[in-house]
């Protein structure tokens, strides 16, 4: 282990995520000024004894620019994967050059959602990041867009960053974007709102106020707040701030006032697998349950039984994620379903003794279920 690795062994990690609009210019080229400045701050923190993970977006935008393309960016998944393959190496070269000016190496780590859903892969990913730190290397993480299956991808790197923060046991997640943080009014709609400096709980109402996706990447303020909610459930403090603000990473680490929007962590940390079920997996369908089933899930921590299900919506296979909603349509839980939707008519609303012999009364086991609210 290197001397730097020895010094970093006991520190709590920090995850810094930069969005596409932060790491690229208006023309789509890599913004070497921003990457250079952030790399300087990362290097200073590493010298001070902190372990850092950088999560970077921008590969698709860089690939589109590198090919000299103009006009609207394509939306076809295969085309986006090809663009990512071109842009990823340009983006990594910029990070390596910038960190190299401070005597540091960048280690590229490409992750996919399944790396967080399977225990063996989860532990392997964590071991890789820890070993990079022991060698004095700064991990630079991105989603593996070039080969990712559209059905099982993160969709934006905000969620990926929140999952990485949980993976490494971080105490801080910094989401750098092109606004000062969460504002009381959306500036894209002509608002001149003030900065909301602290958020105690990211609820659905707040997510609605945040608006839709940004203009460059796949995320937006709503995506960042959703990631902050994930991180909060992991016991991680989150700061959403302007990536072009001087000393933004240092100030976020120091807890400087006005650096951006700070989202407070929950006291209880959600286990990794349940965090993955709740926030990393897309829902293939929805189960509507009666009041008795809702109380059993929320208040008693029970499994969802067929007798409590009143309606089955969507198409899903065994082990797919499904939302669980009450009669008013409020989604309050999520879990992995045990039976395909095609057999729903055989188990919806039926008591255990009325089910076919090959069907268990458990539709979603409590070990595979997360109560969201």
Q: Are residues 158 and 199 in the same domain?
A: yes
- CA atoms in the 13 A half-sphere facing the CB of 127: 7
- Which of 253, 274, 295 is the last residue in one of the domains? 274
Nearest to 53 by CA among 127, 114, 107: 107
pTM (predicted TM-score): 0.81
Whether residues 125 and 164 fall in one domain? yes
- What is the 8-class DSSP label of residue 245? S
What local confidence, expressed as pLDDT, does residue 219 receive? 52
User: What pLDDT does 10 receive?
Assistant: 47
Distance CA 20, CA 56 (A): 8
Count of domains forming the chain: 2
Q: 335 and 308, same structural domain?
A: yes
Per-residue buried b or exposed e for 197-227, using 16+ beta carbons within 10 Å of the residue's own CB: eebeebeeebeebbbeebebbbbbbbbbbbb
201 and 315 belong to one structural domain: no
User: pLDDT tens across 28-63, in order?
Assistant: 899 999 999 999 999 999 999 999 999 999 888 899
- 110 and 234 together in one domain: yes
| DSSP one-letter string for 184-234 | SS-GGGT--PPB--EES---HHHHHHH-SB-SSSS-BHHHHHHHHHHHHHT
> Could you give the CA distance from residue 10 to residue 13 in angstroms, rounded to a whole number?
9
Looking at residue 186, its pLDDT comes to 65
CATH number at residue 228: 3.40.1160.10
| Residue finishing a domain among 274, 300, 326 | 274
Q: Could you report the per-residue pLDDT of 300-338, keeping only the tens digit for each? A: 999 999 999 999 999 999 999 999 999 999 999 999 999
CA–CA gap between residue 308 and residue 42 (Å, rounded): 52
270 and 328 assigned to the same domain:
no
Q: Is 347 found in the same domain as 298?
A: yes
Structure token pair of residue 5:
């690795």
Please tell me whether residues 171 and 189 are part of one structural domain: yes
The pLDDT, as a whole number, for residue 211 is 57
pLDDT on residue 200: 85
Residues 184 and 152 in one domain: yes
Domain end marker among 222, 242, 274: 274
CATH code for the domain of 312: 2.30.130.10
pLDDT of residue 130: 96
pLDDT given at position 118: 74
pLDDT at 358: 78
Domain that holds residue 58: 3-274
* In a shared domain, residues 260 and 303: no
Question: Domain check: are 210 and 103 in the same one?
Answer: yes
For residues 214 and 345, membership in a common domain is answered with no
Output the CA–CA distances (angstroms, integers) from residue 194 to 202, 263, 351, in the order listed: 18, 16, 54
- Full pLDDT tens readout for the chain, 373 residues: 444 444 444 478 999 999 998 999 988 899 999 999 999 999 999 999 999 999 999 888 899 888 887 767 787 878 888 888 899 999 999 999 999 999 999 999 998 877 876 778 888 999 999 999 999 999 999 987 655 554 434 556 898 999 899 899 999 999 999 889 988 776 655 556 788 899 888 765 566 555 554 544 445 788 899 899 889 988 899 999 999 999 999 999 999 999 999 999 987 788 878 887 887 777 899 999 999 999 999 999 999 999 999 999 999 999 999 999 999 999 999 999 999 999 887 889 888 888 888 788 999 999 999 998 6
């Amino acid at each position: 282990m290197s001397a730097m690795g020895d010094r970093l062994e006991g520190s709590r990690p920090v995850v810094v995520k930069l969005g596409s609009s932060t790491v690229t210019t208006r023309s789509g080229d890599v913004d070497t000024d921003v990457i250079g400045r952030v790399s300087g701050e990362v290097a200073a923190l590493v010298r001070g004894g902190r372990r850092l993970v950088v999560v970077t977006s921008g590969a698709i935008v860089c690939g589109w620019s590198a090919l000299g393309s103009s006009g609207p960016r394509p939306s076809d998944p295969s085309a986006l994967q090809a663009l990512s393959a071109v842009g990823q190496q340009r983006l990594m070269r910029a990070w390596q050059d910038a960190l190299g000016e401070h005597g540091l190496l960048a280690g590229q780590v490409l992750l996919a959602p399944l790396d967080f859903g399977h225990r063996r892969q989860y532990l392997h990913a964590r071991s890789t990041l820890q070993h990079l730190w022991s060698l004095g290397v700064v991990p630079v993480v991105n989603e593996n867009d070039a080969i990712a299956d559209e059905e099982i991808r993160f969709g934006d790197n905000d969620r990926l960053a929140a999952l990485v923060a949980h993976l490494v046991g971080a105490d801080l997640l910094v989401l750098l974007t092109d606004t000062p943080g969460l504002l009381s009014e959306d500036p894209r709609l002509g608002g001149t709102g003030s900065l909301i400096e602290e958020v105690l709980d990211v609820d659905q109402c707040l997510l609605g106020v945040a608006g839709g996706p940004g203009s460059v990447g796949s995320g937006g303020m709503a995506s960042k707040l959703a990631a902050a909610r994930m991180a909060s459930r992991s016991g991680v403090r989150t700061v959403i701030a302007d990536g072009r603000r001087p000393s933004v990473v240092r100030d976020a680490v120091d807890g400087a006032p006005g650096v951006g929007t700070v989202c407070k962590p929950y006291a209880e940390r959600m286990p990794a697998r349940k965090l993955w079920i709740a926030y990393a997996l897309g829902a293939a369908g929805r189960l509507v349950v009666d009041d008795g089933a809702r109380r059993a899930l929320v208040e008693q921590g029970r499994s969802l039984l067929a007798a409590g299900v009143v309606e089955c919506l969507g198409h899903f296979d065994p082990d797919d994620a499904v939302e669980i909603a009450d009669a008013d349509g409020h989604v309050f839980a999520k879990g992995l379903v045990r039976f395909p939707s095609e057999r729903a008519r055989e188990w919806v609303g039926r008591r255990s003794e009325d089910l076919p012999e090959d069907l268990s009364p458990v539709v979603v086991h409590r070990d595979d279920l997360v109560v969201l609210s």
